[in-house]
Amino acid sequence: MSSHSLIAPLCLSLAITACGGGGGGGGGNNTASTADSDSANITPAPVQQPVVVDEPQPPAETTADLQVPEGFDLRQDYTLTVTSYIGDSGGNEFLTICRNYSENADGFDVDLKSCLLKTYVAGNSDYTVQARNTDDTLLVSIWKLDTPDQTQHRVWQRQYRDEEFIEIR
């Protein structure tokens, strides 16, 4: 039975997120540039002020005043590239990347309903998954379907790099 190593290399590059910029000139045109035919006789709905229920007052700034820094796209997830260099298992090995797991005396209990990726091991392959920004670790497992007790598990740790990836050899 071959064994495979799960490697999580570091990737060195500065964070560049998509769709930076925006804002600035030209915005804020409060009149329709092309008229839809009938006149505007609809009054804007009043925006009611929030009512804070007996909790300490946070700083008195509303989200209407909030400035989003240039280049921040507000995404709450990150892209993770998974590359498998394992040869075709003939349907006998299975790869999962799952969010929820716990360690026990025998290894790991994996919540199979929390998986981001489920795939048969079928030769060199690339997969792209989106993980939550709060996903500091994920559990990478290679299941031996005929001999489940030989399943391999490794915890992958997020490196907080521009490109996150997992290589499985």
Partner 1 sequence: MTNMKRKILGLVSLLSCTTSLTYALPFERCPGEAFLIQDRVAQLYSVDLATGFSKPLSTPGWTSAKMNALAFNLSDSYLYAYNYETGSISRLGADNSVVELNANMQGLSFFVGDISPTENAYYFYRSGSDYGLYRLSLDSLSDDYLSLQKVISGAALNLKIYDMAFHPSNGMVYAVDNQGALWKIDISNNTAEKLGNTGESGTFGAAYFDVDGNLYISRNNDGLIFQIDVSQSTPKAVRFASGPASSNNDGARCALAPIVTSGIAIADFGSAPDSYASSLQNNGARHAKGNGELYLGASISYEADAKLSELGNATTENDGVAFLNTPLRGKSALVSVESSGAGLLSAWADWNGDGNFSDDEQWLVDHPVAAGTAMLSYTAPTDAAIGESWMRFRLSTTPRLTSQGGAPDGEVEDYAIEIAEQPATTIFYPGENDRATLAFEDNWPLMGDYDMNDVVIQYRLAKRQLGNSLTHIEIEGEVVAHGASYHNGFAFRLPGLNRDDVIEALSHLSINGLPQASVMEPDQDDAIVIIAEDLHQYTTPGENCRYYRTEPGCGSNIQMRFSATITLQTGVPSERLGDFPFDPFLFATPGYARNYLFGEAPGRRFEIHLRGMAPTSAFQQNFLGRGDDASNTNVYYVNQNNMPWAMNIPAKWDYPSEYMDIHYAYPKFHDHIRSSGKEHLDWYNRENANTKNIFNR
Which stretch, 2-10, 53-61, 161-169, contacts partner 1 (CB under 8 A)?
53-61
Among residue numbers 149 through 168, which ones bind partner 1 (CB under 8 A)? none
- Among residue numbers 85 through 104, which ones bind partner 1 (CB under 8 A)? 91-92, 94, 96, 98-99
Which residues are CB-neighbours of 70 under 8 A, at least 6 positions away? 20, 21, 22, 23
153, 4 Cβ separation under 8 angstroms: no
Give ∠ CA 155-2-91 in degrees, rounded to 5.
85
Binding positions for partner 1, 28-47, rule CB under 8 A:
28-45, 47
Cβ closest to partner 1, residue 118 vs residue 169: 118
Number of residues that bind partner 1 (CB under 8 A): 87
Shortest distance (Å) from residue 91 CB to partner 1? 5
Residue 10 vs 74, nearer CB to partner 1: 74
Question: Would you call 151 exposed, middle or buried from its count of C-beta atoms within 10 A (0-12, 13-18, 19+)?
Answer: middle
Query: Are the C-beta atoms of 65 and 121 separated by less than 8 Å?
Result: no
Nearest approach, Cβ of residue 37 and partner 1 (Å): 6
